[in-house]
Amino acid sequence: MNRFVSAALAVVLMVGMAACSEAPVEDLPSPSPSTTKTPREVPDVLGTSASDAKIALIAQGLRPVLRTQDGERWTDEKLAAYAEALSTDPSAGTSVETGTVVEITLNMTESSASEKMKAEAEAKVLETRYTFSCSTRGYGADRKTEEYHSYSAVWSAPNYADIDTCYVRIAGESPSKDTELRAEEQTIANIVSDNGGDASTPASAFANALSLCAKPPFDYPNINARSSRNTQALAQAARTLCPDAPHAALLQEASVRVTIQDGTFVVGQEMEGGTYQTQPGVKDCYWARTTGSGDIIANDFIGFAPTGATVSVFEGEGFEASNCGTWTKIAE
């Protein structure tokens, strides 16, 4: 009997469970993903480099696209650092969705950026191409020598006023080795030769002009002036190279000043005709004018001339001077 009751209960339970499993279930709406994107504001990147502008936009969750100033797509990323953001589309301050494409118009073309990159690379080379070894007046321990890499750095030196001479090396070498010059350097050497100066070693001619740009010697332009042509030519080259030099007026004077030193000259060939005067206070000075055959036209021995000695010479004559120092051509 008990066995039949247990079986009946089991059947009832099974039927009940089946009935429950077949009962209808109320449908509930399933959650759907949101289609709304977080709004973003286009940052103001005008005037910043293209690289920085991209970084700023990406940080805002936006997609930057670079364009040249003429609307072309910018393709070379390494050149982006040389251009600046000119405008954006959408403009700065506009509210947009995350992932929005923002076009950045730059202030140049890629070819312009390439030229700018090359120019900056050239400037880096020039930063150390020249070495100016500048010495102050004095002897032994009193004479100080310091090195610079530009003539403008020499101008800014605390001891600029005491500097007497500057020797220039190009690319670490003496210019007497005739170092190969860059185009702009050769242009300066050509100015020396075009004005009658010595540019037989172009590197030396250029280095001498550089030296004058840094700081002329104290007695410039009276020094090494046996023939004034080279002095004038170098001064003219230096004036072209460094027109804003603090001693520009001295270079201007030297570029037109006609001087000679002690020696013998053929007037019209090795010196200009005209009237010349020595420095004031000349002592024990001898000069002579001679004919083409060597006869003396006029001469004088000057023991002491407080205001300087004066002589006029003419083309075709010979002129000789001894212990007279620098003669400067003066207006007649």
Tell me the per-residue pLDDT of 93-128, one tens digit each, with 9 for 90 and over: 999 999 999 999 999 999 999 999 999 888 888 889
Q: Which of 313, 225, 258, 325 is nearest to 285 (CA)?
A: 325
Q: Provide the whole-model pTM.
A: 0.60
Whether residues 160 and 245 share a domain: the answer is yes
Token couple for 331: 């207006």
Whether residues 164 and 239 share a domain: the answer is yes
Pick the last residue of a domain from 55, 74, 108.
Answer: 108
Q: Is the pLDDT at 160 greater than 90, yes or no?
A: yes
Q: How many domains does the chain have?
A: 3
Question: Residue 141: its pLDDT value, please?
Answer: 84
Name the least confident of 135-144, 189-198, 321-330.
135-144
Residue 274, class by beta-carbon neighbours within 10 Å (0-12 exposed, 13-18 middle, 19+ buried)?
middle
What percentage of the chain has pLDDT greater than the value 70?
A: 87
Q: What integer best gives the mean pLDDT of the chain?
A: 87
Domain residue limits at 319: 259-332
pLDDT digits (tens, 9 = 90+) for 121-152: 888 888 899 999 999 988 888 889 999 999 99
Checking phi first, is residue 92 left (phi over 0); if not, alpha (psi -120 to 50) or beta?
A: beta
Whether residues 158 and 187 share a domain: the answer is yes
Whether residues 191 and 166 share a domain: the answer is yes
